Amino acid sequence: MAVFRIEIAGSVFQITSLFDSTRDYCRNYLTEKAAHFSLEVFPEDLLSEQQFLDEEAREEGLKRRKFTDPFLERAALQRKVAQCLFSRDTLLFHGSAVAVDGKGYLFTASCGTGKSTHTRLWREAFGNRAVMVNDDKPFLKITEAGILMYGAPWSGKHGLDTNICVPLQGICILSRGTENVIHPLSPAEALPMLAHQSCAPSDSGQQPRFRQLVKVLSGAVPLWHMACTKDPAAAWVSFEAMSNIP
């Protein structure tokens, strides 16, 4: 068991975990600040998380996997943190997020489309100018001044994340293509995908608020669709479009 505090998306959580390895997993987000929330993971949470992941695999046509208890604890903790942050107008979003010159760019798509490949091309293209915010599920805080994008320790199989906050410059929905072509989307066109890729709260009573937050998100930043290849030129095509907003 371990007791520690982490800061995620501007909120501090006191965590009581079953496994010491969870503290190490969150090491880049540890803090001594006063906690806003207290969370504890229980053995029954691990079972619930395995059942949730089984259902998710069935829906996506994937093979069921038996996950280790430490992995399930980290997943359960992510879900609990996301539920708390939702009360602070912050969404957990499925996508690969990179920052260039201090501005954030978020790429989302169906699983296996190439989100991580595309942000890797950005890092290769821009070198030290590029910082990986989160390769799987960044947090998006919706404010009156715009959308802020935060890193978090839950960052997919490659573990690519940075404990930073950057203003979100745009969201791009990716698909595979034979050439690199990007065009803007209207909020109405992008809304279904944004809702699908945002992690909804488990409480059905919070669904109206969830839909409202996603709608605000869709109207707060430029939105794009890009058919892309794995060629390095893909990074330049998307960057030139997304960074040159009038």
Sequential DSSP letters for 117-181: HHHHHHHHHHGGGEEEEESS--EEEEETTEEEEE--S--TTTT-B-S-EEEEEEEEEEEE-SS-E
Among 104-118, 133-147, 187-201, 210-224, the range scoring the smallest mean pLDDT is: 104-118
Q: Give pLDDT, residue 246.
A: 52
| Cβ atoms 82, 43 nearer than 8 A | no
Residue 61: which residues within 8 A CB-CB, separation 6 or more? none
Q: Give pLDDT, residue 245.
A: 61
Q: Give pLDDT, residue 61.
A: 81
- Chain-centroid distance, C-alpha 60: 19
- Token pair for residue 130? 């590029």
Structural domain containing residue 53: 2-86
With 70 as the cut, is the pLDDT of residue 76 above it? yes
Q: Does residue 132 share a domain with residue 206? A: yes
Q: Does residue 94 share a domain with residue 68? A: no
CATH number reported for the structural domain that contains residue 178 in this entry: 3.90.228.20
Q: Does residue 94 share a domain with residue 118? A: yes
Write out pLDDT tens, residues 163-174. 999 999 999 999
Q: Does residue 172 share a domain with residue 104? A: yes
Query: What beta strand segments (E) does 67-129 contain?
Result: 90-92, 96-100, 103-108
| Cβ atoms 52, 45 nearer than 8 A | no
CA angle in degrees (0–180, nearest 5) for 198-192-117: 60
With 90 as the cut, is the pLDDT of residue 219 above it? yes
pLDDT band of 81, cuts 50, 70, 90: very high
With 90 as the cut, is the pLDDT of residue 60 above it? no
Write out pLDDT tens, residues 89-139. 999 999 999 999 999 999 998 877 789 999 999 999 999 999 999 999 999
With 70 as the cut, is the pLDDT of residue 196 above it? yes
Q: Does residue 78 share a domain with residue 130? A: no
With 70 as the cut, is the pLDDT of residue 240 above it? yes
Share of the chain above pLDDT 90, in %: 87
